[in-house]
Amino acid sequence: MALLWGIVLRVVQALLQGAPFILTGLCIAAVLDKLLGRVHTRRLFGSNSLSSLVQSWLIGMVLPGCSLGVIPICRQLRASGIAVGTIFAFALSSPLFDPLSILYGLTLSKPLSIMAFAACSLVVVMLSGGLFDKLFPGTELAVVEPPAAPPGAKRMLAIAVAMAREAVSGTAVLVGIGLLGVGLLAALLPPGTLQNVLGHDNRAAPLLMTAVALPAYATPMTVMGQLGSMFQHGNSIGAAFALLSFGAGMNLGLVAWMWLTYGWRKLAVWLVLMVAVVLAISYGIERPLYPADAEDAGHTHAFDRFCGPYGAGTVPAGGFAADILHRIRMETLPHEWIGAGLLGVLMLAGATLRRCDPARRVDAWLLRVPEKDRGVGRYDIVLPAPVLALACLGGIVAASVVGCYAYYPPPEVALEELSTANVEAVTSAISGDAKRAADWIPVCEGWNRRLVVGAYLRSGRVSDYHRAKSRLYQDRLEELEHALEDGDPAKELSRHALDASRAFRYLSAAFRSEPLD
Amino acid sequence: MNRHRLIIPACALVALALGNSGCGRSLPPRAVEEPTHQRPAHHPGSLVDALPAIRVRAARLTAAPADAATATAELRDILRWIPQLAADTTLGRSAWDDVAALAARGSAHLAAPGDPAALAADLAATADSLAAIVATLPPGTPTEEP
């Protein structure tokens, strides 16, 4: 039972985390389909050339996405006749970074490593994509541009209908397969399996990470947090790069799409190329990028999410269902709830359309130009659909940048939230409520990071002094977490809790009274 | 059907990698023997305690080569830890910056080849400068691990 419930928890967690990105992916795919059109899509991304690989990588870097969210976009790129290598280049690069995760990465102790990882991802895309297109030339398709909806409300409605239909099409199945990969890992890897095997001194760490990260699914933000933890704990840098490439860049759903669309042979060649290039880079950067001042903690909790949450034979207090609900409530962020809600609405609309309108009469009506053209007003301008498409894509990028300001609030707001979470964690630990303390410590850790990133976002710099205070608080939280896990005596728990509380006071004083730059 | 065909190679990949690294069966000895986040024996525990730790090891730099090598390695660690130890005090930003700069300068001197006696004197002076800053801390600043 523990295994089954563990799978349920991990799949639900992944679905909720991925929901905003899947929604964005559906929106981008519909904009490409209904506004930009296939010819212009092909022009935007390029096809079957080295420059198209760079173009796709750049577009992927700018647009927010995750490896589940790129599935509908890849399907649309394929419908636009774009060559396989170019599509794969986009599919790999888009999930790696987004504005939220880049900001997070820039405030890590080693931002240079993140920049180097981004450059390495371009090398992966260029090498594997270029070689693939060389091996399989002529994978472009001749496409016919389907009729476009007339300007006005119908054009906008056509996008919504396309999103709804796509949400319950093959994309949904592929996303489901991607999520199954998360469940598969939870079933195969007992809790804590990956805590001690990704050290800098383990030569097999990049290889192991490749094997684990391929079926895993992680959002760019999750991966960036994991990278930060790996740098801090002196884990393998090569494994960190493999994690970024495969954990963020791939999932089983994407692999399934490649197989169904291009067949086993092309999929196998692509995977072999990818794995070879990523592993070569991973082992190549292990020494040069390993931080000289890294403290090898000999373990990491960064990958606990890839493993099963419940040990065999264990039953959480209150039962599995209650524990899962509790964890989901504690961990899920507001934008994830909103994304999941909107995705649900979209799927409901798509299912209704599919059932009530199998002949696609609605789609035909949307394409029909009104017989009586009312004409346009003197100041009305009919914008060409591709212009609107580019404006939409620009709007998505702009919205993701604006979203950064909401996700990373000003330091005073973050400190207020952190203060509440810290009180909960510390008082729970002191009063012996280990479960409640363990629930609140990750919340404290999250707000601690958001505090630093929010300050960086607004002032452009965070001093070493402030970083040291943040790091101290993080260390104290981790020590408290370990004391709770080890079942330390009450006196020890109180000491760790008071240490964490003191570190929070120093952190708060630093951000409230000392200049950031 | 398709799903099953996908799961098999994924399982094989995971099993292969886990088999190669021994994951899940035998953990590296260090992970079994050492508790996580355990501090090395020469970790001073606090900024106040770091000062005598530096002085003692600086004096050992002119001792027998083996002892000097150990002292050098431990000094390197201690100087690296000093900014974090200073963060666990009420020092303001300006004083903390001075501490971090002194630690960085000490580390640079330690890394550069030179006369051990001169290096020992230089590190003792660094400890004195740090002591002057530590003296500004209010009474009750933690001095050691309980």
| pLDDT tens per residue, range A343-380 | 999 999 999 999 999 999 999 999 887 766 556 666 77
Facing residue for A181 by CB, picked from B10, B17, B84: B10
The pLDDT confidence band at residue B114, using thresholds 50, 70 and 90, is: confident
Q: Say whether B37 and A479 touch across the interface (CB within 8 A).
A: yes
| pLDDT tens per residue, range A74-93 | 999 999 999 988 998 899 88
The interface residues of chain A toward chain B in range 176-215, judged by CB-CB distance below 8 A, are 177, 180-181, 184-185, 188-190, 193-197, 199, 202, 204-205, 207-208, 210-212, 214-215
R_g of chain B, CA atoms, integer Å: 23
A70, A95 in Cβ contact below 8 A? yes
Report the 10 Å Cβ neighbour count for B95: 17
- For residue A293, the chain B residue with the least C-alpha distance is B80
Residue A57 neighbours by CB under 8 Å, 6+ apart: A89, A90, A93, A121, A122, A125, A126
Least confident of A47-61, A138-152, A486-500, B31-45: B31-45
pLDDT of residue B66: 82
Whether B35 shows a pLDDT value over 80: the answer reads: no
A89, A56 in Cβ contact below 8 A? yes
Mean pLDDT of chain A: 89
Provide mean pLDDT across the span A382-405.
89
| pLDDT tens per residue, range A142-163 | 888 888 888 888 899 999 999 9
d(CA A294, CA A204): 20
For chain A, helix (H) and strand (E) counts, in that order, are 21, 0
d(CA A471, CA A232): 9
Amino acid at site B41: A
Facing residue for A252 by CB, picked from B6, B84, B146: B6
Whether A406 shows a pLDDT value over 90: the answer reads: no
**Which residues in chain A are contacts of B35 at CB distance < 8 A?**
482, 486
Least confident of A334-343, A361-370, A414-423: A361-370
Shortest distance, CA B16 to any CA of chain A (angstroms): 8
Report the 10 Å Cβ neighbour count for A61: 18
Residue A169 neighbours by CB under 8 Å, 6+ apart: A350
The DSSP output letter for A243 is I
pLDDT of residue A23: 96
- Closest by Cα among A461, A472, A504 to A111: A461
Instruction: Say whether A199 sits in a helix, a strand or coil.
Output: strand
Q: Say whether A468 and B20 touch across the interface (CB within 8 A).
A: no
Facing residue for B92 by CB, picked from A255, A464, A514: A514
The pLDDT confidence band at residue A234, using thresholds 50, 70 and 90, is: confident
User: Per this entry, what is the length of chain B?
Assistant: 146
At residue B86, what are phi and psi to the nearest 5 degrees?
-70, -30
Q: Say whether B6 and A195 touch across the interface (CB within 8 A).
A: no
Facing residue for A196 by CB, picked from B27, B86, B87: B27
Higher pLDDT, A105 or A180: A180
Shortest distance, CA B127 to any CA of chain A (angstroms): 20
Beta bridge partners, A235, equal A199
Instruction: Say whether A348 sits in a helix, a strand or coil.
Output: helix
d(CA A127, CA A139): 17
Shortest distance, CA A469 to any CA of chain B (angstroms): 6
Q: Say whether A468 and B37 touch across the interface (CB within 8 A).
A: no
pLDDT of residue B34: 35
pLDDT of residue B28: 29
- For residue A507, the chain B residue with the least C-alpha distance is B87
User: Per this entry, what is the length of chain A?
Assistant: 517
What DSSP assignment string belongs to B11-77? HHHHHHHHHHHTTTT---HHHHHS-TTPPPTT--SSHHHHHHHHHHHHHGGGS-HHHHHHHHHHHHH
**Which residues in chain A are contacts of B36 at CB distance < 8 A?**
297-299, 482
d(CA A225, CA A192): 18
Provide mean pLDDT across the span A317-344.
92
pLDDT of residue A109: 64
Long-range contacts of B5-12 (CB under 8 A, 24+ apart): B6/A177, B6/A252, B6/A255, B6/A256, B6/A259, B7/A180, B7/A184, B7/A252, B10/A181, B10/A184, B10/A214, B10/A215, B10/A252, B11/A184, B11/A188
**Which residues in chain A are contacts of B10 at CB distance < 8 A?**
181, 184, 214-215, 252
pLDDT > 70 in chain A, percent: 97
pLDDT of residue B24: 32
Residue B72 neighbours by CB under 8 Å, 6+ apart: B61, B110
Q: Say whether A515 and B6 touch across the interface (CB within 8 A).
A: no
A135, A269 in Cβ contact below 8 A? yes
Q: Say whether B96 and A468 touch across the interface (CB within 8 A).
A: yes
**Structure token pair of residue A103:** 């900001």
| pLDDT tens per residue, range A241-268 | 998 899 888 899 999 999 999 999 999 9
| pLDDT tens per residue, range B47-106 | 999 999 999 999 888 878 788 889 999 999 999 999 999 999 999 999 999 999 999 999
Interface with B, mutate which of A465, A486, A492 (most B CBs under 10 A): A465
pLDDT of residue A99: 77
Residue B4 neighbours by CB under 8 Å, 6+ apart: none
Higher pLDDT, A412 or B137: A412
**Which residues in chain B are contacts of A479 at CB distance < 8 A?**
37
The pLDDT confidence band at residue A193, using thresholds 50, 70 and 90, is: confident
pLDDT of residue B12: 45
Chain B residues interacting with chain A (CB cutoff of 8 angstroms): 2-3, 6-7, 10-11, 13-18, 20-24, 27-28, 30-31, 34-37, 80, 83-84, 86-90, 92-93, 96-97, 100, 146
pLDDT of residue A372: 63
pLDDT of residue A169: 93
Helices (H), A359-517: 361-367, 385-407, 411-430, 434-459, 464-485, 490-513
Interface with A, mutate which of B23, B80, B89 (most A CBs under 10 A): B23
Instruction: Say whether A235 sits in a helix, a strand or coil.
Output: strand
| pLDDT tens per residue, range A95-136 | 888 777 888 887 776 778 888 888 898 899 889 888 888 888
pLDDT of residue B30: 29
